[in-house]
Amino acid sequence: MKKALGQIIVSIALLLSTTSCFAGSGSDFGPAKVYEHQLNPISMMEAETLVGKEGVYFFDVNTLELWAEGFIPGAIYFNVKDWKKLLPQNKDTVMVFYCANRLCNASEIAARAVMKLGYTGVRHMYDGIYGWRLSNRVTERP
């Protein structure tokens, strides 16, 4: 009898504890977000051929701490309030956006925001600065 009562108490405790557990955002399911502009990915190998070329811009959308650890040579720190002032006047200019790695979406958000302004040469490097460094490519420090 004591064993059965103990099992019932444990079962009730487990049942009550699971009612306060939530997975995800806690909101209702909805359709996935559809973006107006599709990103144009660029591989690290292709991006490396563009480093240092005139008229090509690299934008680092990382935190200031990550930027200070090293960035793609010639890259411009993009994570600032007045980022629109950093953009070139020619809307066809090739611009490569990157952040930390494939799990970071800051560069994706920045690239889409720039595309909304009418820029057509926007590229997105998914592997980010961590992929760049892990592949032993050259970096600069501020």
**pTM for the complete prediction?**
0.76
Q: How far is CA 93 from the centre of its chain?
A: 22
CB atoms within 10 A of CB 95: 24
**Contact assessment for residue 123 and residue 97, using Cβ atoms and an 8 Å cutoff:** yes
Q: Give the β-pairing of 76-77 and 122-124.
A: unpaired
Residues 8-24: tens digit of each pLDDT: 665 665 555 544 444 45
pLDDT at 14: 56
> Which parts of the chain register pLDDT below 50?
18-23
Q: Could you tell me the domains of the chain?
A: 44-135 (3.40.250.10)
Residue 124 and residue 98 in contact, taking contact as beta carbons nearer than 8 Å: yes
Length of the chain: 142
